[in-house]
Amino acid sequence: MLAEIKGLNEECGVFGIWGHENASQIAYYGLHSLQHRGQEGAGIAVTNGEKVSVAKGVGLVNEVFGHGELNQLQGKAAIGHVRYATAGGGGFENVQPLHFRSHNGSIALAHNGNLVNANALKHQLENQGSIFQSTSDTEVLAHLIKRSGYSDMKDKVKNALSMVKGAYAFVILTEDAMMVALDPNGLRPLSLGRLGDAYVVASETCAFDIVGAVHERDVEPGELLIIDDEGIKSERFTLNVNRAICSMEYIYFSRPDSNIDGINVHSARKNLGKQLAMESPIEADVVTGVPDSSISAAIGFAEQSGIPYELGLIKNRYVGRTFIQPSQELREQGVKMKLSPVRKIVEGKRVVMVDDSIVRGTTSRRIVRMLREAGAKEVHVRISAPPIKNPCFYGIDTSSSSELIAATRSVQEICELIEADSLEFLSNEGLIEAIGRDYENGGQCMACFTGKYPTEIYPDTVHPHEKVTC
Ligand code: SF4
């Protein structure tokens, strides 16, 4: 489904490169390929070995860096960030990388995820005299690093990481090193690659393909990579790890050409569609997917069911982002502007509409109506994920429980509300089976479906809309 109108948004992508003379250019291309993870702001920090410089701004990557800014960012290493802003948190001060200077060196940070104990730590740090420049929880880590009693930067970072809880893929740049860390549950994806002699890291492997890098491996939960002119070192900042990669990365967020823990996202989505067809078969004439992220699942459903796949819905790619406003009325209007049914394909047909999630239900109803207005005889909705019943505290901007339609309504009630002829969701077991992770590599987070959160949730873990996460 379309991220802008759905109310279910990824919050950020990170990229880093060490040891390349065109580091900022490579970071720029890497960020381009991660643009789907955040469209509200972008930034790049570089080091030339003597100083760290940052350029960033509000907007798409090519808007922020379209005026020669990259020429000012010369250096051998760079980190970059694209961000999605939650309501009220879209100001320039929250665009990353965050950059802090002090007499003993600077530090730039880029973060994907959400710290669940950020508020408690922030209060503690403020009581100790810290002054925060942004409302981003990412800044908490910077203060913890600066305040750590250790003298060595690596030890400072390890010490700080041991205090933050939640989901984080951090890329940190100093004058003479790049450090990369993944939380003990490995909730967000983060991969390591090589580009000639240079090291690259990225939220998704699609960023490696665009810059010509080779994927080496995924960063492990609890791992801290220290990359400098001497090479790369892998250390652990905790041994208390329990892999729980976000299931929604496979279902919806990541690009289909990315691989997470060796599993291609398009293939995983196709399998979700196949599994869904096995669990909830239906007699119909055509299968169609809601562009873009549900196309793979729809192809899988069609393959398994033997019902032909057709392009029953077309996405209008040229609607400006700014058109989509965060109000329900405009969101619904946005559906009309963004999607069109293909009358010749759906007219007089029994249509299976495959989508990857239902958040509030209003967007689904709009699409069902659209298909009927185009002449569909029946519209059967099949969702390639279980119902989302619980909010995410790990960096995905889901609605609050009160807005999540599946939190309070049965499948039958949702079916009536979206005006479909039938509605079925994938089962929890089917989701695990279809993604097919090798559980020796750890499990996956299912908390928005099951309510079983892989980390402790702190009393002051506020609602995602009330705080700026990334
Ligand atoms: S709660 Fe859902 S969206 Fe959030 S990390 Fe877990 S699986 Fe992903």
pLDDT in tens, the chain (470 residues): 444 445 566 679 999 999 999 999 999 999 999 999 998 899 999 999 999 999 999 999 999 998 888 989 999 999 999 998 654 455 788 899 999 998 888 999 999 998 999 889 999 999 988 888 888 888 999 999 988 889 899 999 999 999 999 999 999 999 999 999 999 999 999 999 999 999 999 999 999 999 999 999 999 999 999 999 999 999 999 999 999 999 999 999 999 999 999 999 999 999 999 999 999 999 999 999 999 889 999 999 999 999 999 999 998 877 655 444 455 566 666 667 789 999 999 999 999 999 999 998 988 999 999 999 999 999 999 999 999 999 998 988 775 677 899 999 999 999 999 999 999 999 999 999 999 987 766 699 999 999 999 998 877 665 544 455 55
Ligand 1 atom with the smallest distance to the CA of 246 is: 8
E strands present in 265-394: 286-289, 313-315, 339-341, 350-355, 378-383
Q: How far apart are CA 327 and CA 441, in angstroms?
A: 41
Contact between 272 and 433 under an 8 Å Cβ cutoff? The reply is no
What sections of 231-264 are H helices per DSSP?
247-248
CA 394 to ligand 1 centroid distance, Å? 6
Give SS3 for 46. strand
Ligand 1 neighbours (beta carbon < 6 A): 187, 246-248, 392, 394, 396, 445-448
Question: What does the pLDDT read at residue 267?
Answer: 98
CA 392 to ligand 1 centroid distance, Å? 5
Ligand 1 atom with the smallest distance to the CA of 187 is: 5
- Does 415 participate in catalysis according to the annotation? no
The CATH class, in words, for 3-242 is alpha beta
Portions of the chain given CATH number 3.60.20.10: 3-242
> How far are the Cα atoms of 115, 163, 469 from residue 121, in angstroms, in the given order?
10, 8, 15
What single DSSP character describes residue 249?
I
CA 134 to ligand 1 centroid distance, Å? 25
Q: How many residues in total does the chain contain? A: 470
Amino acid in position 378: E
Of 336, 343, 385, nearest to 362 by C-alpha is: 336
Question: What does the pLDDT read at residue 465?
Answer: 44
CA 255 to ligand 1 centroid distance, Å? 17
Ligand 1 atom with the smallest distance to the CA of 393 is: 4
Which one of 394, 404, 452 would you pick to mutate in the ligand 1 pocket, going by the greatest count of ligand atoms within 8 A of its CB?
394
Nearest Cα residue to atom 2 of ligand 1: 448
Q: How far apart are CA 229 and CA 407, in angstroms?
A: 51
Which one of 247, 254, 428 would you pick to mutate in the ligand 1 pocket, going by the greatest count of ligand atoms within 8 A of its CB?
247
How would you classify the pairing of strands 350-355 and 286-289? parallel
Q: How far apart are CA 62 and CA 16, in angstroms?
A: 18
Nearest Cα residue to atom 5 of ligand 1: 246
Which one of 116, 396, 400, 431 would you pick to mutate in the ligand 1 pocket, going by the greatest count of ligand atoms within 8 A of its CB?
396
Which one from 12, 206, 415, 448 is the annotated catalytic residue? 12
Ligand 1 atom with the smallest distance to the CA of 249 is: 8
Question: What does the pLDDT read at residue 149?
Answer: 86
What sections of 280-404 are H helices per DSSP?
295-305, 328-338, 343-346, 362-373
Nearest Cα residue to atom 8 of ligand 1: 246
CA 188 to ligand 1 centroid distance, Å? 9
Question: What does the pLDDT read at residue 213?
Answer: 98
Fold of 259-461: Rossmann fold (3.40.50)
Which one of 445, 449, 463 would you pick to mutate in the ligand 1 pocket, going by the greatest count of ligand atoms within 8 A of its CB?
445
Nearest Cα residue to atom 4 of ligand 1: 392
Q: Which residue has the tokens 């989505």?
A: 269
Half-sphere exposure of 450 (CA within 13 A, CB side): 14
- Cβ neighbours around 156 below 10 Å, total: 18
Q: How far apart are CA 96 and CA 81, in angstroms?
A: 6
Question: What does the pLDDT read at residue 334?
Answer: 66
CA 71 to ligand 1 centroid distance, Å? 38
Q: How far apart are CA 316 and CA 336, in angstroms?
A: 10
CA 226 to ligand 1 centroid distance, Å? 28
Q: How far apart are CA 314 and CA 335, in angstroms?
A: 11
Half-sphere exposure of 131 (CA within 13 A, CB side): 0
CA 448 to ligand 1 centroid distance, Å? 5
Angle at 34 between CA 100 and CA 431, to 5 degrees: 115
Of 36, 97, 32, 108, nearest to 65 by C-alpha is: 32
Portions of the chain given CATH number 3.40.50.2020: 259-461
Ligand 1 atom with the smallest distance to the CA of 454 is: 6
Q: How far apart are CA 202 and CA 221, in angstroms?
A: 15
Ligand 1 atom with the smallest distance to the CA of 388 is: 2
Structure tokens at 130: 């810290």
